[in-house]
Structure 1
Amino acid sequence: MPETTQDQQPTRTAPAAEAGAGEPGRRRARWLIAAGILLVALNLRPAITSVGALLDQLQSGLHMSGTTAGLLTTLPALCFGAFSGLAPRLAARFGADRVLLAAMAALVAGLVLRPLAGSAIVFIAVSVLCLAGIAAGNVTLPVLVRTYFPSRLGLLTGLYTTVLNLGAALASAVAVPAASATGGWRSGLALWAAIAVLGLLPWLGAVRSRRADAVAAAPAGRTPPVRPSRTRLGWALAVYMGMQSLQAYVVFGWLAKIFASAGFSSSTAGLLVSLVVAMGMPIAFFLPALAGRTRDQRPYVVLLVGCYVVGYVGLLVAPHAGALVWALLIGIGGGAFPLALLMVGLRARTPAGTAGLSGFVQSIGYLIAAVGPLLVGVLHDATGGWLVPVVFLLVMLVPQLFGGLVAGRNRYLEDESASESR
């Protein structure tokens, strides 16, 4: 399905693995890269969601305090914010495919070591290794999509974000039964190391077969450095990424309790949250393919924010009567995540620009998102209800809207960066 994302196609750095190869060789290389992208995406969330599902067993087995458990649940966003900025620099020096190979190796190593941890401190330290690998994968995947599939950004972004969501949902659903079937949380967590190896294998082949750095920044001296932090576009997209991630973290962490406070049983409240997750999968698949075919993504920004607004207002006005509708609308609003990843690819002309933008946006964005669940918990404890926390979420949609409106315009990071450097 061909896509036209802009009037002027961004330049493409041809992978060296394809240089001089015949058409069959190029086709095989692209299939290998596509498979590698999807297998990595499948492994970018199970290390996180499986821990959430087994948190009670982890607390008991490792004698974790409630504070330590709270740190463990906040650790992903903190690590994503801390490590995302390193990936573009490493990709510029070694190539994004090598960075992704190293990231998956770190993830596999962490997943192998984590079940062996004898204390909470060791478990958290090894989890940081896993999350550093995931952070590098988060940043690098948009670069690889942008490099190898520049005319199919929407399609590939939709595919890998769908697979990413699928991996998260499967790990959450399977973690407890797998632990019960295999003898405990240690063996249950070890399962994901075996699956993560599958994400490592295609990149061993891709890196081995290429003749030079296949995916890297533009050669030194040809283009000026791109600094997203000095552009309006970079900050706008970072705010959009951060606010949509804040919404998602709060929804996954607190929405079940909001539904339970409306009179639903715990199991029904959990099903309603699973409906939010399930709704996100078709949205993640179709929305980037649609939005990637247009030059302006602002209508989609407005639509997704509007779904959140109606869903949250519904929670306040008729939480029990319209629960299914509110859950569906909130799930649609979560389409802001794949839209943000799509705009990372669309708003840069080169793989180097995409790498810089992806690292900056995700680093700032996840640091913003990390405070969301904590603030909602504080507001709930202070007020004894959910009115103020939900109003807080509505207020946070304002910067999300304005950030998305700026980032959704047809423009390029390199152009803004060049004008800033004059």
Structure 2
Amino acid sequence: MRSPLTEKANLLLLGLAFIFIGLNLRPILASVGPLLPSIQEDISLSFTLASMLTLLPVLAMGLGCFVGFHIAKRLGFNTVMTGSLLLLIVATAMRFWVMDANWLICSALLAGVGIALIQTIMPTMIKLNFGERVPLMMGLYVTAIMGGAALAASSAPFIGMNLGWRAGLGHWTWLGIVALALWLMVKHKAALVNQTTEQTVPLRFWRFRRSWLLAIFFALGTSCYVCVLAWLAPYAVELGYSQTQAGLVLGFLTSMEVIAGLVFPWLASKSTDRRAIIALLCLLQLIGFMGLALAPQVSLFLWAGLAGLGIGGIFPLGLIVTMDHQQNPMLAGKLTAFVQGVGYTIAAISPWIAGLIRDNFNSFNSAWLLLGGISLMAWILSWQFNPQGYAHQYQVTRCVS
């Protein structure tokens, strides 16, 4: 029998592996925006076509969530995690040898599949292994996702200047290799889903109104997230910032997301009712986007920071609130997979719409106003998540001892 100290050490190592895995889920998206002017100088790539570098992986994330859980149950959660990390490493490494836009788009799509599978199974693995510490671990995991975006956005221009834009996109391969090595060291410490004694009553989550409400809320928040990843840096360049400065603006926004991802889930864990905090985050996001659209000359860093705080808090809390609806890890994972599947699929079109707006109106201002409207819609929906009603939204779990 393992001692409590050994179990705690194993949990810490497993948590560290999950954090490093999270760090790998956004660099392939976040590194494109700051380097886009250099890419467009080298290969033929319009803003609409460039949006595909975000649209396709996000769409793959959404569609992959619908099948990822079934794949994991058949092959094993640990096996799928290993394979997905390998897929992400290969997709990132492909960018060292980009020849044209099609090569870039193929690497984005391949990465999207790997990211989708990881994001589908991670909530179940966290809920299964971390028990009462789920809000904390989910906060750290999602913060790591945004931290990876911050690292990529802020450093890609410097790498691009010295080694070329292909290296700026592809050098994140090393981060994937580190995560894979760490995961292989600790994967045997993870509780296996098929070793649990819980059996669940089959639920078709698409039949429940609450599932769609959660999915739409997640879609609204994710639409804002992927749009700023794709277009904030090009917007800054159009305002006269250098590529390096534009990367720092995006890096600052994602740094604020990291701070929000740490602070707000911790604050929300003090109560089961998370509505007030989520509503505050929606308002911060709204103010940030209105500032970007109407008064960018005041301070691009100020508006980006406010938007980043909102986005960074809404993303993890959207997942935490979803998991609050189910105590059983398998059901929580399936519900989260449904919510992410619908949410990412809807959100995938937002960077494409913003790219169309830019190509047709020669400005991103209308896109920021649209995201402001989305933030207002999210604020309205946030008040629906009263925890006192969670027990009545779905059938209960049947446990077999």
Question: Percent of aligned positions with the same letter in both sequences?
Answer: 28
Are residues 1:352 and 2:330 paired? Answer: yes
Question: Which of residues 129, 138, 153 is equivalent to 2:110?
Answer: 129
1:89-122, CA deviations, whole angstroms, 9 ceiling, x for partnerless residues? 2233344333222211211232334434555434
Report the Cα distance in structure 2 between the residues aligned to 1:90 and 1:408, rounded to whole angstroms.
33
1:348-392, CA deviations, whole angstroms, 9 ceiling, x for partnerless residues? 211111211221111111122122233334446666666654443
Q: Match of 1:31? A: 12
CA contact (8 A) 1:76 1:131 kept: yes
Report the Cα distance in structure 1 between the residues aligned to 2:233 and 2:34, rounded to whole angstroms.
14
Report the Cα distance in structure 2 between the residues aligned to 1:236 and 1:112, rounded to whole angstroms.
38
CA contact (8 A) 2:33 2:229 kept: no
1:279-334, CA deviations, whole angstroms, 9 ceiling, x for partnerless residues? 22211111111112311111112111222333344456644346554333222221
Q: Match of 1:294? A: 271
Secondary structure in 1 matching 2:384: helix
Are residues 1:40 and 2:21 paired? Answer: yes
Report the Cα distance in structure 2 between the residues aligned to 1:125 and 1:410, rounded to whole angstroms.
46
1:217-270, CA deviations, whole angstroms, 9 ceiling, x for partnerless residues? 9668x3212332122221111111110111223334444566778xx5324666
Q: Match of 1:240? A: 217
Q: Match of 1:278? A: 255
Report the Cα distance in structure 1 between the residues aligned to 2:66 and 2:181, rounded to whole angstroms.
25
Q: Match of 1:96? A: 77
Report the Cα distance in structure 1 between the residues aligned to 2:359 and 2:46, rounded to whole angstroms.
20
Letter in 1 for 2:173: A
Are residues 1:224 and 2:201 paired? Answer: yes
* Unmatched tracts of structure 2, length 5 or more: 397-401
Q: Match of 2:399? A: none
Q: Match of 1:70? A: 51
Report the Cα distance in structure 1 between the residues aligned to 2:12 and 2:65, rounded to whole angstroms.
27
Are residues 1:326 and 2:279 paired? Answer: no
Are residues 1:215 and 2:193 paired? Answer: yes
CA contact (8 A) 1:139 1:355 kept: yes
Structure 1 residues 357 and 44, CA gap change in structure 2 (3 angstroms): same
Q: Match of 1:17? A: none
How many residues get paired? 394
CA contact (8 A) 2:294 2:365 kept: no
Question: Which of residues 185, 198, 206 is equivalent to 2:178?
Answer: 198
Secondary structure in 2 matching 1:84: helix
Give the RMSD, CA atoms, in angstroms.
3.3
Structure 1 residues 329 and 410, CA gap change in structure 2 (3 angstroms): farther
Q: Match of 1:8? A: none
CA contact (8 A) 1:216 1:352 kept: no
Structure 1 residues 51 and 256, CA gap change in structure 2 (3 angstroms): closer
Q: 1:392-403, aligned counterparts within 5 Å?
A: 392-403=370-381
Are residues 1:266 and 2:241 paired? Answer: yes
CA contact (8 A) 2:226 2:351 kept: yes
CA contact (8 A) 1:216 1:351 kept: no
CA contact (8 A) 2:288 2:307 kept: yes
The Cα of 1:148 is off from its aligned counterpart by: 1.2
Structure 1 residues 115 and 389, CA gap change in structure 2 (3 angstroms): closer
Structure 1 residues 375 and 71, CA gap change in structure 2 (3 angstroms): closer
Letter in 2 for 1:202: L
Letter in 2 for 1:27: K
Structure 1 residues 121 and 327, CA gap change in structure 2 (3 angstroms): closer
Secondary structure in 2 matching 1:224: coil
Q: Match of 1:16? A: none
Report the Cα distance in structure 1 between the residues aligned to 2:48 and 2:365, rounded to whole angstroms.
26
Letter in 2 for 1:358: T
- From the CA coordinates, give the structure whose radius of gyration is larger: 1
Structure 1 residues 45 and 323, CA gap change in structure 2 (3 angstroms): closer
The answer to which of 396-405 and 145-154 deviates more is 396-405
Q: Match of 1:81? A: 62
Letter in 1 for 2:338: F
The Cα of 1:133 is off from its aligned counterpart by: 0.9
* Unmatched tracts of structure 1, length 5 or more: 1-19
Structure 1 residues 83 and 177, CA gap change in structure 2 (3 angstroms): same
**What is the TM-score of this pair, normalised by structure 1?**
0.81
Structure 1 residues 118 and 368, CA gap change in structure 2 (3 angstroms): same
The Cα of 1:66 is off from its aligned counterpart by: 6.0
